[in-house]
Amino acid sequence: MRMRRLRSIRRHATVRALCLGLALAALAILLAGSDASADSASSGTVLVAAATSAQETFNKQCGACHMAYPPVFLPARSWQAITGDLRHHFGEDASLDKATTKAIAEYLMANAADRAPGAPASLLRGIGADEAPLRITDTPFWRSIHGNIPDSVFARPEVKTRSNCLGCHVAN
């Protein structure tokens, strides 16, 4: 099933571009993971109250409705804008209490494209310093990889929308 799905996508996009995207996605996940382990290692002691890290909070709260997008795909100013108005979040009220919102905002901004250590410069290519894209799918980086994929692929029931990365990129 997965192979068939990926094969049909390859018909429309170059294999090279897809592989680059997957490699970067894997890199992003690795970056996010290493940051979290560095945080807990540097704190020295493990407190019960600190057992829920900011990343876990982000995964739980934001991941309740959509994939917990790797923060490295947007600059910090984008995450600031998004977390600054969760009451109006792409047509839905996704607001959280102040402390939770702050923890998530800090985590996203610290791991953003312009702040995460080792983040590839290509993630920010074509985004003006005064621009804060609110959708990963609006970034030149995303478009350069997915630009050739026709609307019909995104309209498939198992994909539904460009925002559903895991509709095509099946995680193992």
Partner 1 sequence: MQIDKSLPVALAMIAVSLLSSLAAFAAVGAAQQAVIDHYAAAAKAADPGFKSFSADRGHAFFLAKHDANADTPSCSTCHTADPRQPGQTRVGKAIDPMAVSVNPQRFTDLEKIELWFRRNCNTVLGRECTVLEKGDYVTFMASQ
Residues making contact with partner 1 (CB under 8 A): 64-67, 87, 91-96, 158-161, 163-164, 166-167
> Rounded to whole angstroms, what are the CA distances from 26 to 1, 36, 81, 125, 160?
22, 15, 25, 19, 23
Cα 137-32-159 angle, rounded to 5 deg: 35
Q: Which two tokens stand for residue 117?
A: 């250590």
Q: What is the rounded CA–CA span in Å between residue 10 and residue 48?
A: 47
Q: What is the rounded CA–CA span in Å between residue 125 and residue 140?
A: 7
Q: What is the rounded CA–CA span in Å between residue 70 and residue 123?
A: 12
Of 103, 110, 105, 101, nearest to 32 by C-alpha is: 110
Report the residue number, 3 or 64, with the smaller CB distance to partner 1: 64
